[in-house]
Chain A
Amino acid sequence: MSCKYANGVLSFEGELISSTIPLLQAESKRVLGAEQPTMLDLAGVTQLDSAGAAFIDQLHSSFASKGLLLLKGANPEVQAVLDTFSSLHLPSAPSSAKIGFFEKLGDDFFTRWSSFTATLMLASEIYYYSLVGLFNHKGQRKGSFIQQAILLGSQALPIVALLSFIIGFILSLQSAVQLRNFGANVFIADLLAVTMVREMGPMMTAIIIAGRSGSAIASEIATMQVTEEIDALKMMALNPIRYVVVPKFHAITVVMPMLVAFSILVGMLGGAFVALGFLDLSLETFVKRSIEITTLKDLVVTFGKSTVFAWVIVIIGSYFGFQVKGGAEGVGKATTSSVVSAIFAVIVLDAMFSLLYL
C-alpha cells in the first residue's frame, strides 16, 4: 500500500485495512504537508475494511470543511464497503453533561434521604409481617425458619468462635503486661469480662454476621430480583417480604443472642489461657471475679443491642437486595453496599448503646 499527492489529488494504492491505516495516516500527512487536496483517488485500492472506510471518512471530514473533496475511482466492491461503513451521516458521540459541585451535593443528599426513607418503609413492612408471621404462617414455607437458623446461626459458629478466642487472647495478653507491673493480676478477669460482655462480644459478632450473613441476604435477594424470581413470587400472589425476608428475620432474632453468648464465653476462654498461664491466676478466681463484675444490666443491654444489630443487618441486606438494578454487576454492588452500610450502622448503634452506661 502507498499514497501519493499530485495536482490536488491524493491517491491510495493497495489495501486500506486496519493493519495498514496507521502507516497510511502518517504517510498521507507527510505527502500532503500544508497542501489541501480536492480529490481522493481510490482507483488503486484493492481492499477496504471498516477501518479503511473510517480513514477515508476522516480525510473527507477534515478537508471537506475547507473546500470541496471528491472521491473517485473506487471499484464497486470498495464502494460498497464505503457505503455500508460510512460514518459521515452519523451524529458525533454526545459527551456526557458535566454536573456542578453543588448540584452533585444536592443530588447525593436527596439520594441518601430517599434511601433512608425507603429503608424505613421496608423496615416497617418487615416488622409488620414478622409480627403477623408469628401467629399466621401463611405465605411462608414450612421449615424455612429452621433452615435459616442453621444458615445464619450454626454455620457461623466456627468463625465466631475462632475470632472471639483470638480477640480474648490478645486482649488478655496486652493487658497482662501492664497489670503485672502494678501487681494487679487479679483484675485481668474484670477487664476481660467487662470488655467481652459489654463491647467485643456483641460488636464483633455483629460485624462477623454483617459480613457473612448480611452479604448472603443481600446477594440472595438481589439475584432473585435480577432473575425475576421476586416478580414470579408476586405473580403467584406471594408477598416477597413474607416469603423471603421474614424467615431470616425470625431466625436471626433467635440465633444472634445465642451467637453473642457463645462469642463472650469463647472470648473469656481465650483470655483465661493467658490469665492462668502468665498471671498465675486460679481458674476458680478467674470465674468468680468474672461473674461478680458482670451485672444484670450488662446482660440486658448486651442481648438487647445484639438483637437490634441483627434486625439492622437483615433490614439493610434486604433493602440493598430489593433495590438492585442491572445484572451481575448490580448484585455485586448491592452486596458490597449492604456489608459496608451494616457495619457502619452497627458501630453507630453501638456508640448510642454505650450512652446507656453514662
Chain B
Amino acid sequence: MDSKPIISVNNLTAKYGEKIILDGISVDIFPGEITVILGGSGCGKTTLLKNILRLYEPYSGSVRFWDKDVLTMDEQEFSAILKQAGMLFQNGALLNSISIYDNVGIPLELHTKLSPEIIDRMIRVKVNLVGLTHALHLFPSELSGGMKKRAALARAMALDPKILFCDEPSAGLDPITSAALDELILDLKQQLHMTIVVVTHELASIHRIADKIIFLDGGKMLFNGSLDAAKVAGIPQIDTFFRVGRF
C-alpha cells in the first residue's frame, strides 16, 4: 500500500444553518483501497462525500487531493481534479433529456480527444458491465430505480477515474445485481487500480468489498480502520450495526 494518502480530510466541520452535521472529521483515503463509509440514516455520510467534492462548502477544515487543498484552489484547478474523479449519486442524477448512451458518452466526448469509434466502444463496454446493453438507447425516465443507478455507475466510470465515489450503489437492487456490482467495483480496484469510496448500508456488500471502514454517528467519526478491527473494537453503535444490520 502506498503510504501517502490520495485524499486527506482534516478536521472537517459541516453545518446546515446552525445545525452541525459533521463535527471535526479527519480521514485519510489511500490509493487502490476501497473505503466504505457506514452509519445510521442522517449521520452525515452523503454530506461528507459532498463536502469532500466541494458540492457543499464546508464550515471549516481542509480537504486535500494529492496533497493539494481543494477548498482554496480556483475552479480551473479543481476541474482538473474532478476529471480524475467519478461520482455515483444516491438517486443516479442522470440527465433526463438524453439517452443512457449519451449520458455515459458526455464525459468522454467533452473531456477526451478519443475518436468517435473508440468512444462508442467505451460507452457500450461500460453499459454492458452494468448489465444495461438492452437499455442503451432508452431515456432515464424509461428505467427503473435500480437501472438508473446502474446507468449512473456506468457514467461515473466512463473516464476510468482514479477515484470513484459511490453513494449507496446497491440500494434498491436485487441481491444478484448487487453482488454483480460489488464484483465490478472489485474489478475496477484490481484492474484499473481505482481508489473507491462507497457509502452503503448493505452488510453483504460491506463484507465483499471493504478494505477499510469509516463509521459515523451523529456527525462524529467513531471508527476508521479495517472491517475485522471494527468488529472487535467494542464500540456499541458498531456492534449494533453489525448485529441488527440496520439502524
**Interface on A for B, CB 8 Å cutoff?**
17-19, 21-22, 25, 49-51, 53-55, 57-58, 77, 80-81, 84-87, 90-94, 96, 325-330
Q: Which one, B1-9, B120-128, B171-179, B213-221, is touching chain A?
A: B120-128
Q: Would B125 and A327 count as touching, CB distance under 8 A? A: no
A54 CB → nearest B CB, Å: 4
Is B52 among interface residues, defined by CB-CB distance under 8 A?
Answer: no
Known contacts A81-B191, A93-B101, A96-B137, A51 near B112 by CB under 8 Å: yes
List residues of chain A with CB within 8 A of the CB of B118. 21, 25, 51, 54-55, 58
Q: Give the 8 A-B CB pairs with smallest separation, nearest first.
A: A326-B141, A54-B121, A329-B96, A87-B121, A49-B160, A54-B118, A22-B113, A87-B125
Q: Would B112 and A80 count as touching, CB distance under 8 A? A: no
Known contacts A21-B114, A22-B113, A51-B112, A94 near B137 by CB under 8 Å: yes
Main secondary structure of the interface of B (DSSP, over half): helix
Q: Which residue of B lies closest to A78 (CB)?
A: B191
B56 CB → nearest A CB, Å: 21
Q: Would B129 and A22 count as touching, CB distance under 8 A? A: no
Q: Would B122 and A54 count as touching, CB distance under 8 A? A: yes
What 1/0 mask marks residues of chain B from 105 to 143 whose CB sits below 8 Å from any chain A CB?
Answer: 000000011110111111111101100010011011110
Our pick among A18, A22, A54 for the contact of B125 (Cβ within 8 Å) is: A54
B128 CB → nearest A CB, Å: 5
A256 CB → nearest B CB, Å: 34
How many chain B residues sit at the interface, stated as a range, is 20 to 34
A100 CB → nearest B CB, Å: 20
List residues of chain B with CB within 8 A of the CB of A327. 96, 140-141
List residues of chain A with CB within 8 A of the CB of B96. 326-330
Query: Bound complex: CA of A241 vs CA of B112, how far in Å?
Result: 51
Q: Would B121 and A58 count as touching, CB distance under 8 A? A: yes
Q: Would A87 and B124 count as touching, CB distance under 8 A? A: yes
Q: Would A81 and B121 count as touching, CB distance under 8 A? A: no
B118 CB → nearest A CB, Å: 5
Q: Would A84 and B137 count as touching, CB distance under 8 A? A: no
Q: Would A84 and B191 count as touching, CB distance under 8 A? A: yes
Known contacts A80-B191, A326-B139, A330-B141, A85 near B112 by CB under 8 Å: no
A225 CB → nearest B CB, Å: 12
Is B88 among interface residues, defined by CB-CB distance under 8 A?
Answer: no
Is B97 among interface residues, defined by CB-CB distance under 8 A?
Answer: yes
Known contacts A90-B125, A93-B137, A327-B141, A49 near B192 by CB under 8 Å: yes
Q: Which residue of B lies closest to A62 (CB)?
A: B117
Q: Would A93 and B159 count as touching, CB distance under 8 A? A: no
Query: Bound complex: CA of A18 vs CA of B118, how far in Å?
Result: 10
Known contacts A81-B191, A93-B136, A53 near B114 by CB under 8 Å: no
Query: Bound complex: CA of A49 vs CA of B124, how far in Å?
Result: 15
12 A-B pairs with C-beta separation under 8 A: A18-B160, A22-B115, A50-B125, A50-B192, A54-B114, A77-B191, A80-B190, A81-B191, A84-B129, A93-B123, A325-B141, A327-B140
Q: Would A50 and B126 count as touching, CB distance under 8 A? A: yes
A317 CB → nearest B CB, Å: 21
Is B187 among interface residues, defined by CB-CB distance under 8 A?
Answer: yes
List residues of chain A with CB within 8 A of the CB of B128. 87, 90
Query: Bound complex: CA of A86 vs CA of B112, how far in Å?
Result: 20
List residues of chain A with CB within 8 A of the CB of B139. 326
Q: Would B141 and A84 count as touching, CB distance under 8 A? A: no
Q: Which residue of B lies closest to A328 (CB)?
A: B96
Query: Bound complex: CA of A249 vs CA of B166, how far in Å?
Result: 46
B181 CB → nearest A CB, Å: 14
